[in-house]
Amino acid sequence: MFFSNKKMNILIRIIFSIILFISFSINALPIPKNNKVTYDIIRKNKVIGTHQIEFIENEDTLLVKTDINIKVTVLFVTAYKFSHQSTETWSNGDFIKIDAHSDFEDEREYFINGYDKDDYFLASGMDGELKLSKNILPSNFWNIKVLNEKEIFDTQKGIVRKITVEYKGGEKITINNQEIECNKYTLNASTNPKDKGPFPEYTLWYSMENNELMKFKFLNWKDKKIVTIVRNYQEKN
């Protein structure tokens, strides 16, 4: 039996989706070597900040601590600043709690928290108090399982965003002169009325070897510049 190119592409996507689901179930939250990953945040070929994630394991509990700091200067004057810190608590593979703080450049500041209670995840942030599904996941792209969700909890603003994900195939990328075979995706999310602009489309690359996030990027809607967040392997030093 022979298939047309269109039918073959559909078949490949179905097979990949099955494999992807299995891999998510087996390895929902991969823990990196040395329990830490660090990324450089790059704009116009210049490092403007860092994105670090640390993993602290204690018996059945896992803490995932994220620290993002961005500073853009123009002629020695700070033109843009952003910082975000969050601590996710996971228990036996389930996301059960978060405490976070985001400080934007335009005096927007959000204190975000959420926790499991009974059959719900109770959270607060930009939109006030929320009563969400107990199974909701935080918007930490490190966890490849978020790509299999219909909606996620935005940890920078404390709101829910609906998402759509498209698989773009395999792609080889180079980081620190090392070639890495990756699976490539695009992710789009719904915009909240309180957002200052549209939610950008993200492109993400995950290692085929271990599902670890190697690189992601988006287009800044304000200045139309690409911002790239790329793993710098500092944690291996």
Question: Is residue 13 over pLDDT 60?
Answer: no
More confident residue, 212 or 29: 212
pLDDT on residue 5: 57
> Would you list the domain boundaries of the chain?
5-236
CA distances from 181 to 19, 26, 217, 229 (A): 17, 20, 17, 17
pLDDT band at 161 (very low <50, low <70, confident <90, very high): very high
Name the residue among 190, 219, 109 with its Cα closest to residue 157: 109
Name the residue among 209, 198, 169, 211 with its Cα closest to residue 186: 169
pLDDT on residue 22: 40
Q: pTM (2 decimals)?
A: 0.84
Q: What is the pLDDT of residues 70-102, one digit of tens each?
A: 998 877 777 788 999 999 999 988 999 999 999
Distance CA 176, CA 237 (A): 13
Query: Rounded to the nearest 5°, which phi and psi values hold at 20?
Result: -65, -40
Across all residues in the chain, what is the average pLDDT? 88
Partners of 122 in beta bridges: 115, 131
CATH number attached to the domain at 5-236 = 2.50.20
pLDDT on residue 163: 98
Name the residue among 212, 220, 219 with its Cα closest to residue 236: 212
Question: Is residue 14 over pLDDT 80?
Answer: no
